[in-house]
Chains A and B, each alone.
Chain A
């Protein structure tokens, strides 16, 4: 069972490494949006600081949203998804492998580049550290919840709008608590409340989202 998890994870990572330009898309989107913002507003350190948590978090969220399509689309179109569903291994484990690969390829790069953008938006060091933590806890949730939406819409032609409608409401709490943690850190207040909330949501979605995703995939396949 664990083997099936690793095999699928490595297959997805290998596929992504052979297709690097696709890999760079969400990251470039993230960097571009955050760097364009100071050009559009008065770039005084104070304005940038107030906007920074929100701007960085919203761009990270949209970057993940844009990359979600990749999660099951290719497998659906070439029939591999059927083979995954016909595997003797539990579908939940395979879904978890695919989501892990998705996070390693989109969420993790965002977390790594975020501190640089934080400094660029003249965030103080304490806030940058909290930004890393909040993204580290928040981006896996974005991938996990996104997987539910993608599995419902993968069979729909141009399902992008539908996908956003389904999952954006579920993303909002993550956005609020993630950005708020950085805000609070800038004010020098304790952030453990926000981070614990993000951690709890992460634990909840790791245990429940793959189940929901595999049920949704079976519904999609039965059409």
Chain B
């Protein structure tokens, strides 16, 4: 006899100890709502994490040099000198001057393109985009600043990642919020299962007393309740997962329409989908353990 068949027989025996528990209970629907919200919160948290990681990787070694000078000739001279110094600098893997036309394109939304608009008359800084091997640490940025000070006193050197620090902080806060939401939803699941288990215990009090007197152990009785809770959590979890994934896909479609660079990084990998898919399983385990502990605790107070 295999262990599986032995466990199956034990399940059959336990099933016959007490009548079917909580038939028609709203518990699967409560679990479905909780799981759907958990799936959405978890997927959002994971997508935000991915977006932050991708942006961080993209900007990690990026440095921007601005030559801020109102005089076009001096600006050009300083820019050329800065380019020459940067190309010789150790650790710089890529140096590129951002073309004037590209700069004007970037500024068009704010300064306009029609005749009479101020774009041609404004002293727009020259921009140099460079990429370092490794991270643009404050020390490396300071070294670049010192190297450029002699040949381009109007140069301003900034690590690109520094501009996004507030954004990363906001993303981190949102991730914590998602984590907190998941913890709250897990607590709500526990509370709902405890309430349902206690109600079922009251409903079955007489039957439990009888099987107790016939020699049933607390564990035998608890198995009936935990199996019922697990079954309801599985049904609710499946419904919740489907609803949650539908909501995620709808949100993903909306965000992809934005076309934002950072939004494009907010995608879920296959490991993320596996984690999201495992949420109902976690719900089942949580419901099962909660029901077991609740029932065992209540039975210990009975004779």
> Does chain A bind chain B?
no
What is the interface of chain A, defined by CB distance below 8 A to chain B? none
